[in-house]
C-alpha cells in the first residue's frame, strides 16, 4: 500500500473533515464571543419592549403612503416618552409605542395612558386626516405587570436550562451535560447580543423565540450526542477524539440539510413578513447559525474536557 492510499483509507475511517483538531481554536472564538456579548449587554443594556417596562402600543393604518418621519414627528409633538415607531414595509401601516409616566396607583397610571392615547388619536385624525388613519388596536401594559413579565420570562429561561441539565444527565452521562447546557447558554447570549446590537427591542415574542432556539439547539446537540454514544460503543479502542470526529462526520450532512431548511424558511419570513414576525425570524436565523456551530465546536471540546477530567480523577 502506498503512502497516498494509506492516507485515503485513514481519512475514510476518521471521517471526511477533521473537526476535532480545530476545537481549541473555535472553542477560544466561542468563549471570546460570549464574553464580548456579556460586556456589550452590560455596557449598552437591553432595550426592552412595552411588555417588560410597561407602556402603550397603538397600531394605525393609513389609506395612502405616509413617511415614518411624519409619524415620529407627530408622536413626539404630543409629549410622549420613549417613542418607538415600527413600519410594515409599504409605509402605510405603523406601530407606535410609547411609555407613560407611572402614577402613584394603577388607576392613575391607566388614566394617564388613556389621556395620552386620546391625544395621539386626535393628532392623527387632525394632522394626517388626508391619509385617513384607521386605529386597528391599542394595547397597554402597566409598569408593575411589565416588571413581573420580565422577571417570569428570565426565570423561564433559567428553569429551562436547569431542567435540560438534569435531563441530559439522566439520558446520557454526566460528561455530556455541561456541553449541552453551555451550548444553549452560548447560543442564547450571543443571539441576544446581536439582537441588541442591531437596535431591536426585547419583548415577550422575542423571549419566546429564544426559548424556541434553545429547544432547537438542544435537539441538534442531542442528535450529535446520541451518535457519539453509538460510535463510542463501536470504536472503544480508538479514543474519544476519534469517536467525536467520526460521529460529527456521520451527522454533518443531516445537520446542514435540517438547519439550512429552517434557516431559509426563517429568512423568507424576515424579508417578507415585517413587524414583530420579522424580528422573531431574525432571532431564529442568528440562533440557527450559532446553534449548528455550537453543536460541533462547543459541545465537542467540553466532552473531551470531561473525559480528561474523568481520566485524571480515576488515576488520582
CATH at 257: 1.20.1640.10
* 238 and 163 fall within a common domain: yes
Instruction: Check which CATH number belongs to the domain holding 117 and give it.
Output: 3.30.70.3400
**Of 105 and 86, which is predicted with more confidence?**
86
Parent domain of 107:
55-141
Of the candidates 141, 175, 195, which is a domain's last residue? 141
pLDDT tens digit sequence for 62-82: 888 888 888 888 888 887 777
* 38 and 88 fall within a common domain: no
Residue 104 is predicted with a pLDDT of 54
Residue 176 is predicted with a pLDDT of 74
| Prediction pTM value | 0.74
* 152 and 137 fall within a common domain: no
pLDDT tens digit sequence for 228-238: 888 877 777 77
* 119 and 248 fall within a common domain: no
Of the candidates 110, 141, 172, which is a domain's last residue? 141
* 66 and 27 fall within a common domain: no
* 62 and 30 fall within a common domain: no
Q: Report the domain count for the chain.
A: 2
Q: How far apart are CA 213 and CA 209, in angstroms?
A: 6
* 10 and 44 fall within a common domain: yes
Label residue 267 by pLDDT band (50, 70, 90).
Answer: very high
* 44 and 66 fall within a common domain: no
Label residue 13 by pLDDT band (50, 70, 90).
Answer: low
Of the candidates 141, 172, 202, which is a domain's last residue? 141
Q: CB count, 10 Å around CB of 167?
A: 14
The beta strands (E) that lie in the chain are given as 55-61, 81-87, 93-99, 134-141
Highest mean pLDDT out of 150-154, 157-161, 190-194, 311-315: 190-194
Contact 117, 94 (CB under 8 A): no
Amino acid at each position: 500500500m502506498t503512502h497516498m492510499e494509506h492516507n485515503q483509507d485513514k481519512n475514510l475511517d476518521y471521517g471526511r473533515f477533521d473537526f476535532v483538531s480545530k476545537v481549541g481554536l473555535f472553542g477560544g472564538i466561542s468563549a471570546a464571543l460570549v464574553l464580548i456579548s456579556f460586556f456589550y449587554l452590560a455596557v449598552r443594556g437591553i432595550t426592552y419592549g412595552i411588555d417588560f417596562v410597561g407602556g402603550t402600543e397603538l397600531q394605525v393604518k393609513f389609506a395612502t403612503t405616509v413617511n415614518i418621519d411624519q409619524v415620529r414627528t407627530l408622536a413626539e409633538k404630543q409629549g410622549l416618552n420613549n417613542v418607538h415607531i415600527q413600519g410594515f414595509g409599504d409605509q402605510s401601516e405603523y406601530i407606535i409605542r410609547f411609555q407613560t409616566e407611572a402614577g402613584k396607583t394603577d388607576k392613575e397610571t391607566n388614566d394617564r395612558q388613556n389621556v395620552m392615547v386620546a391625544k395621539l388619536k386626535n393628532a392623527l385624525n387632525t394632522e394626517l386626516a388626508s391619509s385617513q388613519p384607521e386605529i386597528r388596536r391599542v394595547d397597554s401594559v402597566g409598569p408593575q405587570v411589565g416588571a413581573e413579565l420580565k422577571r417570569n420570562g428570565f426565570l423561564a429561561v433559567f428553569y429551562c436550562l436547569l431542567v435540560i441539565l438534569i435531563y441530559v444527565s439522566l439520558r446520557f452521562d454526566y460528561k455530556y451535560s455541561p456541553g449541552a447546557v453551555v451550548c444553549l447558554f452560548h447560543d442564547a447570549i450571543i443571539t441576544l447580543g446581536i439582537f441588541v446590537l442591531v437596535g431591536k427591542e426585547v419583548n415577550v415574542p422575542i423571549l419566546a423565540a429564544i426559548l424556541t432556539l434553545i429547544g432547537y439547539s438542544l435537539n441538534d446537540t442531542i442528535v450529535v450526542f446520541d451518535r457519539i454514544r453509538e460510535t463510542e460503543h463501536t470504536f472503544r479502542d480508538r479514543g474519544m477524539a476519534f469517536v467525536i470526529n467520526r460521529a460529527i462526520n456521520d451527522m454533518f450532512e443531516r445537520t446542514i440539510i435540517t438547519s439550512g431548511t429552517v434557516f431559509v424558511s426563517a429568512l423568507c419570513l424576515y424579508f417578507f413578513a415585517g413587524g414583530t414576525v420579522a424580528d422573531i425570524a431574525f432571532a431564529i436565523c442568528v440562533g440557527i447559525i450559532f446553534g449548528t456551530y455550537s453543536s460541533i465546536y462547543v459541545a465537542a471540546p467540553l466532552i473531551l474536557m470531561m473525559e480528561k477530567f474523568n481520566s485524571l480523577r480515576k488515576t488520582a
